[in-house]
Amino acid sequence: MKRILLSWSSGKDGAWALHLLRQQARYEIAGLLTTFNQAFDRVAMHAVRRELVERQAAAVGVPLRAIPLPWPCSNEQYERIMADACARAIADGIEGVAFGDLFLEDVRAYREKQLSGTGLAPIFPVWGLPTDRLAREMIASGVKAKLTCVDTNKLDRSFAGREFDEALLADLPADADPCGERGEFHSFVYAGPMLDRPLAVAIGETVIRDQFAFADVVSA
């Protein structure tokens, strides 16, 4: 059985990747790899509080591997920090890293380039799944998630904080991806088949930074 890490942003696509990986006997998921903005102690881009991700990892039953990132963080700094994280993973007997990417070729190519020569194999368990069907399959399975970040150049700010459900899918513009794969939105999963218990959460304040609307998810 191959010991791997799962890149974990706290959102639905990574959570679904976990769900699928657990159905494959050849993988042991040894940790959830999450980058945190040191200045705010939140997941980079998703802006989810660290304590919520820790609760999420406990409900998933997989150890959290937190990687602190400085703020601001240059691409060079980021790549150096991630190279160090890869070296530590290899030392711990890890053989691969799985990602929840769906169809963006440039993102996949970047991941593959960064892992090239590290000894870690890139794994893409949800790659190529049709996102309209996937979104509905997630919802039907019991996945529950809140939208934590919305790109207001692509969606109205009122989508921030909404539930990822059939009503949301019906309200998305025709050119928006149902899973938000082009950056339309990011999410936080608080229930689903990959968690052994639901997390009680609520939506707090929504703030605008640059073009993004961030809804603060808090423990309820």
Contacts of 175 (CB under 8 A, 6+ apart): none
Q: 79, 96, 123 — which closes off a domain?
A: 123
Same domain for 111 and 12:
yes
Supply 57's token pair.
């990892």
- The tens-digit pLDDT sequence of the chain (220 residues) is 899 999 999 999 999 999 999 999 899 999 999 999 988 999 987 889 999 999 999 999 999 999 999 988 899 999 999 999 999 999 999 999 999 999 999 999 999 999 999 999 999 999 999 999 999 999 999 999 999 999 999 999 999 999 999 999 999 999 999 999 999 999 999 999 999 999 999 999 999 999 999 999 999 9
Alpha-carbon distance of 92 to 176, in angstroms, equals 40
Same domain for 119 and 13:
yes
pLDDT at 72: 87
Same domain for 58 and 8:
yes
Q: 87, 103, 123 — which closes off a domain?
A: 123
Same domain for 153 and 44:
no
Cβ atoms of 71 and 218 closer than 8 Å: no
Same domain for 119 and 21:
yes
Q: 123, 141, 160 — which closes off a domain?
A: 123
The Cα-based distances of 9 to 32, 47, 64, 91, 173 in angstroms read 9, 9, 11, 23, 25
Give the number of residues written for the chain: 220
CATH number at residue 39: 3.40.50.620
Number of structural domains in the chain: 2
Same domain for 102 and 34:
yes
Same domain for 114 and 24:
yes
The Cα-based distances of 153 to 3, 51, 183, 185 in angstroms read 40, 30, 10, 11
Same domain for 110 and 70:
yes
pLDDT at 39: 87
Same domain for 138 and 89:
no
CATH number at residue 172: 3.90.1490
Same domain for 166 and 207:
yes
Alpha-carbon distance of 13 to 125, in angstroms, equals 10
Same domain for 171 and 86:
no
Same domain for 95 and 76:
yes
End-to-end CA distance of the chain: 38
Alpha-carbon distance of 137 to 44, in angstroms, equals 27
pLDDT at 26: 93
Q: Are strands 64-69 and 27-37 parallel, antiparallel or unpaired?
A: parallel
pLDDT at 21: 97
Say what the pTM is. 0.95
Amino acid sitting at position 132? D
Domain residues for 197? 131-219
